[in-house]
Amino acid sequence: MSRFPTELRRWRTARRLSQLELAIRADTTQRHVSFIEQGRSRPGRNVVVRLSESMDLTLRERNELLLAAGFAPAFPESRLDDAALRPIREALDTILDGHLPYPAMVVRPHGILVTANRAFELFHEDVDPALLAPPVNVFRLALHPDGNASRVRNLPEWGRHITENLRAQLSRSPDPSLDALLAELEGYLPPLPPPDDVLGFAVPLELGSADGDLRLITTLTSFATAADVTLAELHLEAFLPADDRTAEVLRRRWG
């Protein structure tokens, strides 16, 4: 029996959509969605594609839903070293170098480091070499006691900036391995102090360094129109100075 009815219901529930809401988004009827979830109707490929798009699934998740329905995946998944992605790799290198003297990195899902510019060395100071052995997990590097945790002056707030983002990902795309990573990271965080005048978790990273304390803010960029699974899952995180002194230190070190 096809796994599709169960998978469709699981994803619809994860997206907190009723059958009627999904039907309206996918330009079909609630009765049709109900019959599909009961296994009484077998949808065609186009219907599966519309349903996955209507639930805003990632490209990987859309491929998995197609496979569950008995169809071939719609999106290729290239290796990062494939010739087809060479122009993308070159473009990323250009972006990373252009962001100097400020740190920037490219990561895969679960915080796995793909590449970074020279200024990323800022996060190597006094770190256990084991945490820098490939594959580097930037979340673990940031929050592990043998990583940057001792240097982060606002660890409770900054750490929750990371964990809350991961929790938001999990709410949209349940993943046991990401859930386990989140539990590990939360175990490294001290209690959150009483709130002050900072709203939510939108706080700068306050990081100790050989040149004194630095303050950094971050930006996150993704390939929103990517048609390749690997490319769609990459994110570029760039750090910017939050004050003049931080900018001066970074220019002096990597300018």
Regarding whether 56 and 118 lie in a shared domain, the answer is: no
Name the least confident of 111-120, 188-197, 241-250: 188-197
Residue 216 CB neighbours (<10 A): 21
Regarding whether 113 and 29 lie in a shared domain, the answer is: no
Regarding whether 98 and 139 lie in a shared domain, the answer is: yes
pLDDT digits (tens, 9 = 90+) for 166-205: 999 998 888 999 999 999 999 999 987 766 554 444 579 9
Q: How far is CA 102 from the centre of its chain?
A: 21
What is the model's pLDDT at position 112? 97
What is the model's pLDDT at position 67? 96
Regarding whether 141 and 206 lie in a shared domain, the answer is: yes
Regarding whether 139 and 24 lie in a shared domain, the answer is: no
Residue 50: inside a domain, yes or no? yes
Regarding whether 175 and 101 lie in a shared domain, the answer is: yes
Domain containing residue 220: CATH number: 3.30.450
Regarding whether 182 and 120 lie in a shared domain, the answer is: yes
Across 216-222, average pLDDT = 91
Residue 95: inside a domain, yes or no? yes
What is the model's pLDDT at position 199? 45
Regarding whether 144 and 43 lie in a shared domain, the answer is: no
Across 25-47, average pLDDT = 95
More confident residue, 255 or 118: 118
List the domain range (segments joined by +) for residue 44: 4-68
Across 55-80, average pLDDT = 95
Regarding whether 200 and 111 lie in a shared domain, the answer is: yes
Q: Mind giving me the DSSP string for 126-194?
A: T--GGGGSSSPBHHHHHHSTTTTGGGBTTHHHHHHHHHHHHHHHHHHS--HHHHHHHHHHHTTPPPPPP
> What span, in angstroms and rounded, lies between the C-alpha atoms of 54 and 87?
31
